[in-house]
Structure 1
């Protein structure tokens, strides 16, 4: 069977090592004909580096690599351009000194590749000198490609002071692009985050941000059509609905796309599980969510303005912007209210929802053995229709929460915490779970769905002076179950009352509707 191009960041390597081609080269012709300075933000492992290398080879005139692709007959191959290609993607920057060494190595590589000498001493001076001398030596304007421009900052985003110092060093380096305009033909910059232009690209006002440009929504990632037309042989024997549910769903105001890294790994291994999430540890992300009291179930639907999503600064990081730009949330809807753009965000797919909630559980319950040993029994309990097992295991899990957590939180936060623990457990296992499940009579606290069963769960605090039977009666009185009657599934009603004093489930009741 043909080899899949997993993890390949070089266009030339992909062409030589794989027979699978998702042709994105039409975007190159469009970009080159319509503008000069571009910026694109996409999550990690989404093919940004491969696309940038494809740009490199196109501008360098490597027609032999584009045989059978759109660009083969839609590009001026006789007018190649010199290219400066810089990538901050490899390695981890741990200090300002390491960043300075890395930039120095870039400048040495540029000097050696293009056969120039430096007379300037400063980093920005030599970068400008490189652009000018290459342009004069070749008689052609220079193409500059910068990949993962923000990674040095994100590497140390947990240390605000150091991150700011790194940002200022990069700002000095990137500022050259503003003054080198007369010698530049094309500039393309990629990254994960969108730090404000004021912070990093001061003066580069004509930098066109195509992150939320519908015309470029599918530049990175695979569309449904591309998946089936290119990988049809690999899809044979697989559950395409499950693949769609787990890996499709990313949207930037255009057609939804699959995560390429995850889908290629799934097609290679023939297994559906978390791939993209395994390549990064969202430690800082979890810390930001904790700091801002972002409850796990709230990420099912997040409202954010265009101003919030557009960028963030190191000193003021919006959790909504961070979740969106790093790929943990995607755009589900948009509406214009006067001059205000309002976005509705949510999980892109089951892979992200499951894996992120798995990480959040480590914050809720830090006892690894207790956390993991409960998974299989809890999953089996909802498959078999045994709600009493939920009671038993969640009572033990809540008892494992450190006393210190309650000391730092209000009662209202505790109620949300209980709901978050339940939601995150089931979401991490890939169960179809919905918090605040809406009906025409209101919203049930939580619903779980399997192939043949539905669980409707209502949470109460004992301060509300209600027992579990009253919670069940509320479900009936509100008619929450009517939403699922027509599906022909068994419907279980579950009521729980939490005790502020005991910090656990005080009362539990369930009922199977006839």
Structure 2
């Protein structure tokens, strides 16, 4: 029996994965060959843990001419291995929380490149001036144009979004550094920058406006991430016996306007853990800043699974005016459901990419919405039992207890609890955190259902009203929302839930069963 190849968990170095061919590797080199032969300056944004660092490491090994590492891969027979190029690699792996630390980090990165390339430069306070001299001296020493690879180009900003003044300083440090690349065009063979977020070109790339952004280029949609074909071939032995439909539901769904892809980190950990379904990717980074932004903006949570944004909004954002929509997309909590052409404009409808992100995100945000800690899991279990057994009186009792248990201080100190969408957001977050099949603002020919839940045993259609005088169920009846789901052989429950903002709880819970 052939031994399984090792899983490259946490390994971001191409050489380590390929040195003895002991590790599993998904061959992306055909796309890499297309990339390097069709252009010279590129930018790629992808969420964290999506294989960006491995891609940068692969490019470095390729331009350095390390043919032995590419044995058997798609690019080996078509690449010119007789020419080697010196590589300057800038990787912001460290954390810098003030201007001094940022400048020290840039200096350390440039010194590391000098040592590896055998170059000595004059150390100056300006990273850009320093990098320019490094590029020119490297070209002169090696007699070849220089390849510049930047991994996590945005880390000085992203790490400091919670302190805007420092983030702005980080922007200036990076602008000084990156403007040098365009100024050194005659010495540069190829440049590739990658990171999590795309900031407006005016603010960061003002001096590097010749970058080709391939973040939403369908040709490179699968450059990072695993495809369904990758799972069925490269991962076939590791996934033997797995419920592939469930794997797809949990971890697939990231859409960069081409074939949808899986997050590599999820698949590697899923295989390594004995095929246990867990929130592997989400657990590696708590989006604290993101949750605070949701609180500040009083976001109606159900809309997150059907946001519609313009092409210009999703394209980038500015740290002086941070918008939630592009941040959620660029960090991987939302993805593109579909692209829409509206006249001359392009819009995107966003959604959660898969079950992992939807349930994990909503589970996490619940703590901020309700202030509940221990009680949260108890209510989640109760809600699940209530719905799977169609015990509607118990469901009402659970919801009343849930809202009664929200600490008073949470209402006083949290502005999100003062707007109408708060109550529906809490219920939606509880339901989404259970991984249930649900749709917010479910479109019918008669209008939109606030929330529809589809279970094996029943279908629930829920309408919410705040200070509405007990008219939620009446609206469902009048608009005949149930027509969409009739004929499926399941009982349909119409539920109208009314809230009183003064009482901070349900004032009415009316329901009826059809079929």
Smaller-chain TM-score range? over 0.9
Q: For 1:48 and 1:281, how far apart are their aligned partners in 2?
A: 20
Q: Could you say if the C-alpha distance between residues 412 and 273 of structure 1 is closer, same or farther in structure 2, counting changes exceeding 3 Å?
A: closer
Q: Is the 8 A contact 1:41 1:193 kept in 2?
A: yes
Per the TM alignment, residue 163 of structure 1 is displaced from its structure 2 partner at its CA by: 0.7
Post-superposition offset of 1:502: 1.4
Query: For 2:259, which of 251, 255, 259 is the aligned residue?
Result: 255
User: Which residue in the other structure is 2:120 paired with?
Assistant: 117
| 215 and 234 in structure 1: CA distance in 2 versus 1, 3 angstrom threshold | same
Gaps of 5+ in 1: none
Per the TM alignment, residue 206 of structure 1 is displaced from its structure 2 partner at its CA by 1.2
CA offset digits 1:311-370 (Å, max 9, x no partner): 111111111111111111111112233442211111111111111111210111112012
* Equivalent position of 2:8 in the other structure: 5
Deviations 1:132-187 (A, max 9, x none): 11111110001010000101111111111111011111211222112111111000
Structure 2 residue 172 is the aligned partner of structure 1 residue 168: yes
SS of the equivalent of 1:125 reads helix
Unaligned runs of 5+ in 2: none
Q: Which moved more, 1:393-402 or 1:183-192?
A: 393-402
**What is the aligned partner in structure 1 of residue 340 from structure 2?**
335
Structure 1 stretch displaced more, 39-48 or 176-185 = 176-185
Superposition pairs of residues 57-72 of structure 1, within 5 angstroms:
57-72=61-76
Once the 2 structures are TM-superposed, how far is the Cα of residue 232 of structure 1 from its aligned partner? 1.3
Instruction: Give 1:189's match in structure 2, choosing from 187, 193, 218.
Output: 193
Give the aligned partner of residue 325 of structure 1: 330
Q: Any conservation in 1 of the 2:461–2:494 contact (CA below 8 Å)?
A: yes
Aligned to 1:348: 353
What are the within-5 Å matches in structure 2 for residues 25-36 of structure 1? 25-36=29-40
From the superposition, tell whether residues 360 and 197 of structure 1 become closer, same or farther in structure 2 (CA, over 3 Å): same
Deviates more, 1:90-99 or 1:107-116: 90-99
Counterparts of 1:385 and 1:335, CA distance in 2: 38
Q: How does 1:254-403 map onto structure 2 within 5 Å? A: 254-269=258-273, 270-403=275-408
- 1:142 corresponds to which residue? 146
Helix, strand or coil: the match of 2:203?
helix
Is the counterpart of residue 421 in structure 1 residue 426 in structure 2?
A: yes
- Aligned-partner SS, 2:442: strand
The number of residues matched between the two structures is 509
Choose the corresponding residue for 2:102, options 99, 109, 119: 99
- TM-score normalised by length of structure 2: 0.95
Within 2, Cα distance between the matches of 1:480 and 1:354? 26
Q: Which residue of structure 2 aligns with residue 205 of structure 1?
A: 209
TM-score (norm 1): 0.95
Counterpart of 1:444 in structure 2 is 449
In the aligned structure 1, how far is the partner of 2:341 from the partner of 2:454? 34
In structure 1, C-alpha distance between the alignment counterparts of 2:347 and 2:203, rounded to whole Å: 24
Aligned to 1:511: 512
Q: Secondary structure at the match of 1:397?
A: helix
Q: Is the 8 A contact 2:250 2:355 kept in 1?
A: yes
Instruction: Report the CA distance between 1:21 and its aligned residue.
Output: 2.3
The reply to whether residue 454 of structure 1 matches residue 454 of structure 2 is: no
Of 319-328 and 397-406, the range deviating more from structure 2: 397-406
The answer (yes or no) to whether the contact 1:120–1:129 under 8 Å persists in 2 is no
